[in-house]
Structure 1
Amino acid sequence: MTTNHLNSESELLQRIAGGDEAAFATLFNTWYPLLSTLVLRVTRSEMLAEEVVQEVFLKIWMGRESLAYVTRFKPFLWVMAKHMAVDALRKAASRVAREQAFGQGLAQTEADQEPDYHTLIDEAVNRLPPQQQKVYLLARRDRLKQAEIAELLGISISTVKSYMQLSVNAITLYIKQKAGLGVAILSILKIFS
């Protein structure tokens, strides 16, 4: 690589770090085809590769300020893309496993005459601590956004997120204990539908 190329790449990264959209478009157009090929080799799925490459460039743009400190962009890009491709494959494999477990759980649950989902969910929600219960009901029943809930209750968005996570975990655990894994999976899907 020539010194001139390194200087122009460094300058391009500095411009992007400063928010220059045209510089980012240049970077995107330069690296997109090669990166797509690399990610396609890892994922072996055109659709997944396309998603990963778009996420890589979105992540670069969202964290563009850090580009000012990148001295070797190609290795930086390759490592980021490889990690994101592997993560995407893991998520896809996990999703397939959940769908298979769901299918098996559904068949088993139907055979075992599952308990009423809504009753189990209501029982679990009633057992939540008061503040978690409020947050959960505002999010699920009233369909409020996290920012709206935070403002309404005078708490931070991170607290709302934390309460939601704790609530869903507690509800899932309760349903697992009362009805088994298959019903818990079905109930969780009901919670999020």
Structure 2
Amino acid sequence: MHTYPSYDEKALLSQVAQGDEAAFRIIFHSYHHKLGAYILKLTESFPLTEEIVQDVFLAIWQNRAGLGAINRFESYLFVIARNRAFNCLKQIARERMRKQEWANNRRDEPEEHGPHIAVGYDGLIEKAVDRLPPQQKKVYLLHNQQGMEYASIAVQMGLSATTVKKHMSLALRSIREYVHSHMDPVSILFVIVLRFFLL
């Protein structure tokens, strides 16, 4: 573990505000363990905690111009982290409710239309995934089949989280274009309605 000499945090934040990356690294190493422990208590998820810590410090760097005016940086940092953690947890809860609603609706579907269209749609997705470039395909499968967060995928593949998100975005766009180009308009409309609660 790195150790850092005592420093004037106010002066250090002013340096970060001016774009000093070395000063930012000191701030990061001084707080990221404490911040991670705090977020982990809220989320009870190591992958989610890693992602939130990265997002918080990325936000600090992107909005660094105002750091010189902050008097209590630790409080400022933890408020940002708490808000992001709560927002993530709310989003997860909403997604679970939507998936449950979708599952309930699927049980009530008429059998003459739902199954064969859904199977055809899933088959098209599989074909679209097989056509993806290797990196995009790997990111897509790790995220959708193994449930890995972007931060964990980035570590496993030796990429930045930003690159992983870009690969995922490109993969989803390619899959969407492929599926829509191989389905008739009626089936596309049915699938959009059928999968509404997953969006």
Instruction: Please tell me the TM-score bracket, short chain as reference.
Output: 0.5 to 0.7
* TM-score relative to the length of structure 2: 0.55
| Larger helix proportion of the pair | 1
Partner Cα separation in structure 2 for residue 71 and residue 41 of structure 1: 26
Distance in 2, Cα, partners of 1:76 & 1:21: 20
Query: Aligned runs of 1:85-100 on 2, under 5 Å?
Result: 85-100=85-100
Q: CA deviation at 1:70?
A: 0.7
Q: Give 1:10 shift.
A: 0.6
Equivalent runs, 1:47-62 vs 2, <5 Å: 47-62=47-62
**Cα distance in 2 for residues equivalent to 1:188 and 1:102:** 6
The answer for the alignment partner of 1:160 in structure 2 is: none
Residue 195 (structure 2) aligns with = 186
Amino acid at match of 1:186: R
In the other structure, the counterpart of 2:9 is 9
Cα pair 1:52 1:81 within 8 Å, conserved: yes
Between the aligned residues of both structures, percent identity stands at 30
What per-residue deviation string (whole Å, max 9, x for no partner) do you get for residues 1-52 of structure 1? xxxx7x7101111111111111111111110000000000111111111111
Whether 2:52 is the aligned partner of 1:43: answer no
CA distance in 1, matches of 2:34, 2:12: 18
- TM-fit CA distance, 1:100: 1.5
- Equivalent-residue separation in structure 2 for 1:56 and 1:38 (angstroms): 13
Q: In structure 1, how many angstroms separate the alpha carbons of the residues matched to 2:89 and 2:50?
A: 13
Q: What CA RMSD, in Å, does the superposition of the two structures yield over aligned residues?
A: 3.2
* 8 Å Cα contact 2:52-2:81 kept in structure 1: yes
How far residue 59 of structure 1 moved from its aligned partner, in angstroms, is 0.7
State how far apart, in whole Å, the 2-side matches of 1:42 and 1:188 are: 27
SS in 1 for 2:71: coil
How many pairs were matched up? 129
In the alignment, is the contact (CA less than 8 A) between 1:105 and 1:183 conserved in 2? no
| Cross-structure match for 1:74 | 74
The answer on whether the counterparts of 2:13 and 2:68 sit within 8 Å (CA) in structure 1 is: yes
Aligned residue number for residue 83 of structure 1 = 83
**Cα distance change on mapping 1:113 and 1:183 into 2, 3 Å:** farther
Equivalent position of 1:161 in the other structure? none
TM-score normalized with structure 1 length: 0.56
Aligned 1:1-193 pairs, distance under 5 A: 8-111=8-111, 113-114=113-114, 184-186=193-195
Relative to structure 1, is the Cα distance of residues 85 and 185 closer, same or farther in structure 2, using a 3 angstrom cutoff? farther
Contact kept? 1:16, 1:24, Cα under 8 Å: yes
**SS of alignment partner, residue 24 of structure 1:** helix
Stretches of structure 1 that go unaligned for 5 or more consecutive residues are: 118-138, 144-174
2:121 aligned residue: none
SS in 2 for 1:109: coil
Structure 2 residue runs without a partner (length 5+): 1-5, 119-172, 178-188
